[in-house]
Structure 1
Amino acid sequence: MDKIESYRFYRLEHIIETDYHAPPIADFGYSRGEMTEEYRDKFESWEATDDGEYSMNVMFADGGLPTDYELNNINSVTMTPNGKYVIIGQSQGPSQIWDTINGQLVSSMQGITIHSSKVTLACDGTLLVGLASDSFDSQSNILQIWDFNTGKSIELPYQIKCTTFTLSNNSNCLIMAGNQKYGHGISVGIFDLNNLELMKEIKSDTNQSYDSTPSFITLTPDECYAIVGCPSGLTTNYVVFHLITQQELIQPPIITIDSDPQCSIVLNNEQMLTGTINGQIILWNIPSCQRIQTLNDNRQNAHRDKIKDLKFSHDCSCFVTISVDGTAKVWDTNSKEVISKLIGHEREITLTGSKDQNICLWYLQSGQIASTIHVGMTPLHIYMAAHNQTIVAIGEKDGQRQLLMLRVVFEQR
Structure 2
Amino acid sequence: MDKIESYRFYRLEHIIETDYHAPPIADFGYSRGEMTEEYRDKFESWEATDDGEYSMNVMFADGGLPTGYELNNINSVTMTPNGKYVIIGQSQGPSQIWDTINGQLVSSMQGITIHSSKVTLACDGTLLVGLASDSFDSQSNILQIWDFNTGKSIELPYQIKCTTFTLSNNSNCLIMAGNQKYGHGISVGIFDLNNLESMKEIKSDTNQSYDSTPSFITLTPDECYAIVGCPSGLTTNYVVFHLITQQELIQPPIITIDSDPQCSIVLNNEQMLTGTINGQIILWNIPSCQRIQTLNDNRQNAHRDKIKDLKFSPDCSCFVTISVDGTAKVWDTNSKEVISKLIGHEREITCACISTNQLVVTGSKDQNICLWYLQSGQIASTIHVGMTPLHIYMAAHNQTIVAIGEKDGQRQLLMLRVVFEQR
TM over 0.5: yes
Aligned-residue identity in percent: 99
Q: Are the structure 2 counterparts of residues 297 and 41 from structure 1 closer, same or farther at C-alpha, using a change threshold of 3 Å?
A: farther
What secondary structure sits across from 2:38 in the alignment?
Answer: helix
8 Å contact 2:34–2:124 — kept in the other structure? Answer: no
Instruction: Write the distance in 2 (CA, Å) between the matches of 1:39 and 1:5.
Output: 23
Deviation at 1:380, TM superposition (A): 1.3
8 Å contact 2:4–2:56 — kept in the other structure? Answer: no
Deviation at 1:39, TM superposition (A): 17
What secondary structure sits across from 1:47 in the alignment?
Answer: coil
8 Å contact 2:348–2:365 — kept in the other structure? Answer: yes
Q: Which residue of 1 aligns with 2:66?
A: 66
Once the two structures are superposed, residues 318-355 of structure 1 have per-residue CA deviations (whole angstroms, 9 ceiling, x without a partner) of 11000010000011111100011000100000260000
More divergent stretch after superposition (9-18 vs 177-186): 9-18
Pairing of 1:257-272 with structure 2 (within 5 A):
257-272=257-272
Deviation at 1:142, TM superposition (A): 0.3
Q: Are the structure 2 counterparts of residues 64 and 126 from structure 1 closer, same or farther at C-alpha, using a change threshold of 3 Å?
A: same
Q: Are the structure 2 counterparts of residues 403 and 124 from structure 1 closer, same or farther at C-alpha, using a change threshold of 3 Å?
A: same
Q: Are the structure 2 counterparts of residues 37 and 204 from structure 1 closer, same or farther at C-alpha, using a change threshold of 3 Å?
A: farther
More divergent stretch after superposition (182-191 vs 45-54): 45-54
More divergent stretch after superposition (43-52 vs 71-80): 43-52
Q: Are the structure 2 counterparts of residues 16 and 130 from structure 1 closer, same or farther at C-alpha, using a change threshold of 3 Å?
A: same
Deviation at 1:389, TM superposition (A): 1.6
Instruction: Write the distance in 2 (CA, Å) between the matches of 1:69 and 1:34.
Output: 33
RMSD: 4.1
What TM-score, normalized to structure 2?
Answer: 0.90
Instruction: Write the distance in 2 (CA, Å) between the matches of 1:219 and 1:174.
Output: 11
Deviation at 1:117, TM superposition (A): 1.5
8 Å contact 2:2–2:55 — kept in the other structure? Answer: no
Deviation at 1:42, TM superposition (A): 22
What secondary structure sits across from 1:26 in the alignment?
Answer: helix
8 Å contact 1:331–1:340 — kept in the other structure? Answer: yes
Which runs of 5 or more structure 1 residues have no equivalent in the other structure? none
Once the two structures are superposed, residues 84-130 of structure 1 have per-residue CA deviations (whole angstroms, 9 ceiling, x without a partner) of 00000000000000000000000100000000121000000000000
8 Å contact 1:240–1:253 — kept in the other structure? Answer: yes
Instruction: Write the distance in 1 (CA, Å) between the matches of 2:306 and 2:231.
Output: 16
Instruction: Write the distance in 1 (CA, Å) between the matches of 2:200 and 2:32.
Output: 24
Q: Are the structure 2 counterparts of residues 107 and 69 from structure 1 closer, same or farther at C-alpha, using a change threshold of 3 Å?
A: closer
The answer on 1:412 being equivalent to 2:422 is yes
Deviation at 1:18, TM superposition (A): 3.7
Deviation at 1:215, TM superposition (A): 0.1
Deviation at 1:20, TM superposition (A): 0.4
8 Å contact 2:15–2:69 — kept in the other structure? Answer: no
Once the two structures are superposed, residues 377-406 of structure 1 have per-residue CA deviations (whole angstroms, 9 ceiling, x without a partner) of 001110001314210000100000000000
8 Å contact 2:230–2:261 — kept in the other structure? Answer: yes
Once the two structures are superposed, residues 45-76 of structure 1 have per-residue CA deviations (whole angstroms, 9 ceiling, x without a partner) of 97332431344544569998576542001100
Deviation at 1:136, TM superposition (A): 3.6
Aligned residues between the structures: 413
8 Å contact 1:12–1:59 — kept in the other structure? Answer: no
8 Å contact 2:9–2:413 — kept in the other structure? Answer: no
8 Å contact 2:6–2:60 — kept in the other structure? Answer: no
Instruction: Write the distance in 1 (CA, Å) between the matches of 2:55 and 2:158.
Output: 50
More divergent stretch after superposition (14-23 vs 152-161): 14-23
Which runs of 5 or more structure 2 residues have no equivalent in the other structure? 351-360
Deviation at 1:161, TM superposition (A): 0.1
What TM-score, normalized to structure 1?
Answer: 0.92
8 Å contact 2:92–2:113 — kept in the other structure? Answer: yes
Deviation at 1:362, TM superposition (A): 0.4
Q: Are the structure 2 counterparts of residues 35 and 253 from structure 1 closer, same or farther at C-alpha, using a change threshold of 3 Å?
A: farther
8 Å contact 2:94–2:113 — kept in the other structure? Answer: yes
8 Å contact 2:74–2:412 — kept in the other structure? Answer: yes
Deviation at 1:233, TM superposition (A): 0.3
